Structure formats: structure tokens, C-alpha cells
Structure 1
Amino acid sequence: MSSPATGRPAGRNLTVEVWIVLGLSLGASGVYAVVSLIRKATLPGGLGGQTATLNASRDDREVFDFVYQVLGIGFALVPVALALYLLSLDPVKERVTERLGLDRHHARFDALWGMGLAAVIGLPGLGLYGIGRLLGITAQIIPAPDISYWWTVPVLILAALQNAILEEVVVIGYLMTRLRQKSWGVAATIVTAAALRGSYHLYQGVGPGLGNFAMGLVFGYWFHRTGRVMPLVIAHTILDVVAFVGYLLLGDSLGLK
């Protein structure tokens, strides 16, 4: 038996399921990020004197650095597979990709809105980062490794895509679906998903945490209104590619390194 409105399966404890999925993925990241924030805030110089490296080298030897980077990207997507599999067990007619708006039926719509959302989120995000640095509540973010190889740019693009898929599928597609199935209100669902997004960015400082919380509100409302995750994946990928690759290629000339 299931609810015809939500497709919620009977006989399954969705609360336990959600905690397991988050505990294996971004929920754990949120806990570590809070601890990292406290640690950095209590070091000499406070948050403003610390750094947060997003795509650090994994090994001094090029071949092992490459292998570790690719393995890290691949295994980071396992929680996405788990979330999609669990959603696919729900008694609904649509395939899980169609249900979350991850199909290719609206490619033009998804691409245009993805680019638009990236522009809307990107500029205010830079502003919050700058304000946070001035106030000393945000660490200096280093988006790319100091040492680069011929494969660094492609791997950074893959890392951006991995971040987008993981966060948007788990936080927006999976978590919001499960909370609505548990009869949470729309506002509570959106705010909770946004708070989770902000939490696992706190290792970068208060500014990025607040910026990602605001991003989560926009993305959550988008999913509530359209039911499509793909534009969010596209927007998130664009934002991270610009940050990662832009810093690597233009960081010196812009005085960011």
C-alpha cells in the first residue's frame, strides 16, 4: 500500500532511510564542516587568516594524484546511486529520472534556465565572499591545486560535475521528495534542504555558508515549482567550473594566488 498523492511506500521507515543516506554523504560533510569552522575560528588570526582548499593534490607523484582524484570523484557519486535506487523502489509509475526531472525531454529549457540560474546565483555569491573576507569571517578559498598537469582542467571539470550531481540529486531531488512524503510543509522542506546545503560549506567560513543557504532557498523553490533537477545540476556545474578552472587559469593575473 502507498499514498496515491506522494507515492510513499508503506512499511518503510523513511526517517531512518534519510538519516542513513545523509550519514553516508552530505550530512557527514556538514558535521565535519562545522567542526572545521570551529577549529579555524579558534586558531590565531581567526577565520580570516585561514585557507580552504577545494581541490587539493592527493599525492606528490602525478600518476597517483590522478588516480586518487578520479577515484574520489567516482566514489563520491555512490550516494547518488543509492538515493536514486531507493526512490526507484517507491510505488509510482514514472521512472526516477523522469520523476526528478533528470531526463532529456526538456534539454533546451534545462540548459537556458541552468545558465540563467548560474548568473543569478554567481554574482551575489562573489559579493558575499568578498564581504566575508573583509569582515574576517570567511577563509581564503583556493579552488584549484597549486601544481597542475595536462589533465588538471578535465579533472576539475569532472569534479564540478560531481559536486553538482551529488548535491542537487541528494539535497534537492532525494531529500525534498522524502520530506514531502513525510507530510512536511513546503517552506519547512525548502528551508531544511537549504540549511543542509549551507552546513557542509561552513568549512569555508560564515559567508559561503550563508551564500549556499540562500542558493538552497532558490534551488529548493525552483524544484518545488518545476519538479526538475537538471537545470540545477547545469547551473551548479557552471558555477564550479568557472570557480575551479577560472582560478587555475586566471588566478595569477587577477592577483588571487
Structure 2
Amino acid sequence: MIKDHRPYVVKRAWLKFQKFYARHFLRPQLTRLGTGFTFMRPWHVELFGAPIRIGRYATVIATPDKKIRLSVWPAQAGKGHITLGDYCLICPGVRISSAEGITIADNCMIANGAYITDSDWHGIYDRLSFGQAEAVEIGKNVWIGDSAIVCKGVTIGENSIIGAGAIVVESVPANCVAAGNPARVVKRLDPEETFTTRAQFFADPAKLARDFMAWEQAVLQGNTYFGWLRHLLFPAKGD
């Protein structure tokens, strides 16, 4: 379907239902869920273990074929956690698995299919053990590219970018672009440049909500219930 044929009132009801689902089914499984969150298709978000903390104004996007999985399997008592800061973006297919501790700071963006883990999950010789686990630290405003893998013991400095498909096995400094397998620094960013972050996007949440509402009303203007049902049952070419 190219065009969204839903009437505006149906679109608003759909968004409210997603918010209700996240509050009713996901929030009780989380140690913390900050205000202003947006979950798209939250029934495709899978949570296991604790503690899992998500900060304010998180945007979490899941799809039927690319579920989001956040899992804590502590290697020892009192170990293991997933902590996401404020304004983070989590795209479809992201997996985060912790045995020791994974901390992701504010304004981070994690792209489609990325995997972050702090453990080997099996020993080299003892395949029944958890293997080695070392905490992962991801600094503010980091962008992790499509299908990248961040492994145990890694620290990624603030503002850095991890290229698509990169395998990060060693720490990456701040203000760098790292790519490849294993990932290596391929570019230095200018720390004197001004970085525009997701926090600025949410600087005025009330105005942002009004702007989105106005945009949705304009896009869906003229849609009717009859037209929506007709396109659901008898989609025509170009719909």
C-alpha cells in the first residue's frame, strides 16, 4: 500500500492503542521506562530478565519479521543489566544481550539488525559455561550502523559512528568513524563542530506533538471509512 487510506481518527486510535499496549504489557517488565516513549508495534518487542532500564523519549520500532530482543542472563548473582539513556532510537531487529552489563548513553541510535553483547555465551573449551563476560559502554550520541555487532569489553566514545556490518571487538575513541571486520577507525570527526542530537528534536515535546498531529491531519485529509475499507478489501494498483 503506497498511500495510507485510514481516516485520521483511525490513525489516532491506532497510536493510542500502541501506547496502551506498551504501558500495560511492557512497562511492568522493565525496571524503568521514562516518559515520552514511543513504541511502534510493541507486541514485537521481547524482554527477558532484569534489570532493563529505558530512559525518557525513547523511540523503539519493531516489525513482525524483525523483532527487538532485550535479554539479561546474569553470569553471576547481581550481574547483568541493560541501561539505555534518554532520547535513544532502537530500530527493527536490534538485539541486546547482557551477562555483565551494557550501558548506552543519551541520544544513541542503533540501526536495523544491530547486535550488542557483553559475553561470549559459551566457553572455548567448556561449552556449558557462559564464557567470558565484560561490560560494554556506549557513549553519548553514538550511531551504530545497520547489522553491526558490538562485542564484550568494548567502549565506544561519544559521537562516534560504527559503520554498517562492522564487527567491533576493540574499543573505539570518541569522535570517530569505525568500519570493517574487525572494525578500525577510518575517519576522525571534528569535535569542534556542532552535533545536532535527538535531544534537540524533543526540546519542546508539546510543540512536536502538535506538529505531528497537524502533519497527520494534512496527509490523511479527505480519507473516509468507506474508502479505507474498500482499499483494504479491494486494493487497486497504485494504492
TM-score, with normalisation over the residues of structure 1?
Answer: 0.23
Higher relative CO (Cα under 8 Å, sequence separation at least 6) belongs to 1
Greater helix fraction, Structure 1 or Structure 2: 1
Rg (Cα) greater in structure: 2
Q: Which has the higher strand share?
A: 2
